[in-house]
Amino acid sequence: MTAIHLENLVKRFGAFTALKTMDLEIRDGEFMALLGPSGCGKSTTMNMIAGMEQPSEGRITFDGRDMNGVAMGRRGVGFVFQNYAIFTHMNVYDNLAYGLKVRGTPASEIDRRVKAMADFLQLTPMLDKPSAKLSVNILQRLAIGRSAIVEPAIFLLDEPLSNVDAAFRAVMRTELKHLQRQFRQTMVYVTHDQLEAMTMADRIAVMDHGVLQQVGTPLEVYNDPVNLFVADFIGSPGMNLLKGVLADSDRGLVADLGALGITAPIDPALSATARKHGIREVVYGFRPERVVLAGAGQGIAMPVTFIERIGARTVVHFGDGEQRVKAVFDNDVAVQTGETVHVAVEPGFARLFDAATGVAIR
């Protein structure tokens, strides 16, 4: 186990700055996901941790040791990339054994560890198979096993599941988490898939345009996004974000959500912050999962425009244009397209953002 510390890290490629600044502490034995849209700088960050790229500014330390100038092979990191690196002329057994062999591990120990890893990754039936004959799913599993078997203190994975099919991806999410728990490695996992990040990571570092936006547990980034980018990026379907203007009323501060024709009361603590900073234009956010059906005369009446079945849950779309609101209900929700129903937001689950800066008001 090794703690990784990224300090004021910047990476430029010519005139282009891929990573504007990055400060991140990855704890001993932690599973950290780097999550963000394509081009946000996730892989660039990962490649610097691995030692494939050198930082333009700042430094990376492993347990306090400066990694600047330390070659890739001497950093004690294992990695798996989107495109698995497998020796196709070797069978599964030899691929798994390779890393241990080059380290001079005794043959009996190699045999024991290869068999244990094959068992763990359910590769035992194919140990004798030439890897050239394996499916993409199995190859990626083998690539993970091949890197994991040498038990690197730091394990880096860059979109390892993006080429495998959906069913297998679900299986691997569980197995990777299990693998990390078993070996207690410090794991850094690059993905643009929030489901992967949410299900596996201890903490998620959300990135956009070369800037770290938020670091937190999956529930922290989900429940309390620090800005509109994180609010919109995390969650599927994403948070409802409605424009509003703060105004005083006999109920205290309220957000006038013009498009919906209602005013929403604002929590006293948030009101104090908004007042202190003189914020007027806001974005009022709430998760589709926090919309509830209200009794007649309560909440707000909205027409059901579209119903989407997404398996275990049902997404109901209300209104249109600027008035659009999404809600997620259990499958047995009794609403129909075309009817008007009353909906409300569960108390305590509305979030408020400064419209000018996108920053969450807390």
Contacts to ligand ATP by CB under 6 A: 13, 16, 18, 36, 38-44, 192
| Nearer Cβ to ligand ATP (41/244) | 41
Task: Decide if 288 contacts 326 (C-beta within 8 A).
Answer: yes
Which residue type, as a one-letter code, is found at position 290?
Answer: R
Closest CA to 234 of 196, 282, 270: 196
Give the shortest CB-208-to-ligand ATP separation in angstroms.
9
Give the shortest CB-134-to-ligand ATP separation in angstroms.
25
Q: β-strands 281-286, 351-354: how paired?
A: antiparallel
Q: Alpha-carbon dihedral of residues 208, 211, 216, 220, nearest 10 degrees?
A: -50
| Nearer Cβ to ligand ATP (211/259) | 211
Please state, in angstroms and rounded to a whole number, the distance separating the CA atoms of residues 299 and 283.
Answer: 19
| Nearer Cβ to ligand ATP (193/224) | 193
Q: Which element (helix H / strand E) includes 116? A: helix 107-120
Give the shortest CB-18-to-ligand ATP separation in angstroms.
3
Structure tokens at 67: 């990694």
Give the shortest CB-252-to-ligand ATP separation in angstroms.
43
Positions of E strands within 51-150? 57-62, 65-66, 77-80
Please state, in angstroms and rounded to a whole number, the distance separating the CA atoms of residues 149 and 124.
Answer: 15
Please state, in angstroms and rounded to a whole number, the distance separating the CA atoms of residues 161 and 173.
Answer: 9
| Nearer Cβ to ligand ATP (43/180) | 43
Give the shortest CB-237-to-ligand ATP separation in angstroms.
22
**87-104: buried (b, 16+ CB within 10 Å) or exposed (e) per residue?**
eeeebbbbbbbbbbeeee
| Nearer Cβ to ligand ATP (40/161) | 40
17 SS3 class: strand
Terminal Cα distance for the chain, rounded: 36
Please state, in angstroms and rounded to a whole number, the distance separating the CA atoms of residues 300 and 209.
Answer: 37
| Nearer Cβ to ligand ATP (158/354) | 158
| Nearer Cβ to ligand ATP (80/360) | 80
Give the shortest CB-289-to-ligand ATP separation in angstroms.
27
| Nearer Cβ to ligand ATP (37/261) | 37
Give the shortest CB-234-to-ligand ATP separation in angstroms.
16
| Nearer Cβ to ligand ATP (36/244) | 36
Give the shortest CB-303-to-ligand ATP separation in angstroms.
39
| Nearer Cβ to ligand ATP (18/139) | 18
Distances (CA, A) of 295 to 40, 94, 251, 300, 341: 44, 66, 22, 10, 9
Q: β-strands 281-286, 313-318: how paired?
A: unpaired
Structure tokens at 31: 């599973």
Give the shortest CB-41-to-ligand ATP separation in angstroms.
4
Give the shortest CB-16-to-ligand ATP separation in angstroms.
6
